């Protein structure tokens, strides 16, 4: 295995972006060549192995998932992520026809905020 020098990172990142077709390896969104700081060279923190180029935000979220998976009792992270992807795909639309009791639609949130503002104005006038 070859350990990269800090100077080599940018060259490797650019070459990897080309190899990946200009897309983030996780979300498949385009990596903008004019914004190189939006893309990072991802690596496995336990082995140091370079994996791919990701959007900075995708890399940050991946890090949070990887670093906290054991804390939440996830023993097989790849199985969890694979299952999560399937789960979210199936539930893109509401297949149960039910809403959680704490959920508020945008209209309900707006009406509630307006009500709270009216109450606050009334109290301020008194």
| 42, part of any domain | yes
Domain extent, residue 27, equals 6-75
| 13, part of any domain | yes
Distance (Å, rounded) from C-alpha 59 to C-alpha 108?
A: 34
CATH of residue 70's domain is 3.40.1800.10
Distance (Å, rounded) from C-alpha 74 to C-alpha 70?
A: 5
Q: How crowded is residue 31: how many other Cβ atoms within 10 Å of its Cβ?
A: 21
> Is the pTM value of this prediction over 0.85?
no
Q: What stretches of 39-107 adopt beta strand conformation (E)?
A: 39-43, 50-55
What pLDDT shows up at residue 126?
84
Q: Spell out the per-residue pLDDT of the chain, length 126, in tens.
A: 899 999 999 999 999 999 999 999 999 999 987 776 789 999 998 899 999 999 999 999 999 999 999 999 999 999 999 999 999 999 999 999 999 999 999 999 999 999 999 999 999 998
What pLDDT shows up at residue 38?
86
| 90, part of any domain | no
Number of domains in the chain: 1
Q: Under 8 Å CB-to-CB from 82, ≥6 apart: which residues?
A: none
Q: Select from 3, 9, 17, 78 the least CA-distant residue to 48.
A: 3
| 112, part of any domain | no
| 98, part of any domain | no
What pLDDT shows up at residue 36?
61
| 92, part of any domain | no
| 88, part of any domain | no
């Amino acid at each position: 295995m070859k350990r990269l020098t800090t100077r080599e990172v940018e060259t490797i990142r650019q070459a990897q972006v080309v190899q990946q077709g200009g897309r983030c390896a996780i979300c498949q969104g385009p990596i903008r060549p004019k914004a190189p700081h939006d893309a990072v060279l991802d690596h496995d923190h336990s082995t140091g192995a370079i994996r791919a180029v990701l959007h900075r935000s995708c890399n940050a979220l991946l890090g949070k998932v990887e670093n906290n998976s054991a804390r939440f009792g996830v023993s097989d992270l790849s199985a969890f992520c694979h299952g999560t992807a399937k789960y979210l795909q199936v539930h893109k639309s509401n297949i149960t026809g039910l809403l959680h009791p704490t959920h508020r639609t945008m209209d309900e949130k707006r009406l509630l905020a307006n009500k709270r503002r009216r109450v606050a104005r009334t109290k301020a006038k008194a």
